[in-house]
Amino acid sequence: MPIWALVLDYILGMIMWTLVGRAAMNIFLPIDSKFFFMRAFVWLTNPFIRMFRPVTPGFLVEPVVPLFVAWFFFMIRFYLMPWLLGFSTMGMLSFPLESEIAAWLHKVFN
């Protein structure tokens, strides 16, 4: 796999998982919380949420919006990246970022 594809997938994956993390943290904490991690999640993800605001449906409640935006990044990684690399589909755990994490977890716990 070309290095540009790995770097792009890692960046898109980190953005996607940060958006998911923000939605998960928002279950327990309000957006304006003073907790460091919540402030970091909000600060890191707000630019992406603003970027996707034109295509975000108005009926979505605010805590679900980060998941909606994360879905776009998932779709890019699952459909656009394989197409750019010349593959028709990619199988389960074929995302490089998640594959690395799964291999590390397997190594640690086995």
Encoded tokens for 83: 């197409």
Query: Which domain does 14 fall in, by range?
Result: 3-109
In whole angstroms, how far apart are CA 47 and each of 16, 87, 108? 13, 31, 35
Structural domains of the chain, count: 1
In whole angstroms, give the CA distance from residue 100 to residue 46.
27
What pLDDT score was predicted for residue 93?
Answer: 44
What pLDDT score was predicted for residue 90?
Answer: 59
Query: Which comes out higher in pLDDT, residue 77 or 22?
Result: 22
pLDDT digits (tens, 9 = 90+) for 48-101: 999 999 999 999 999 999 999 999 999 888 878 777 777 766 554 467 788 788
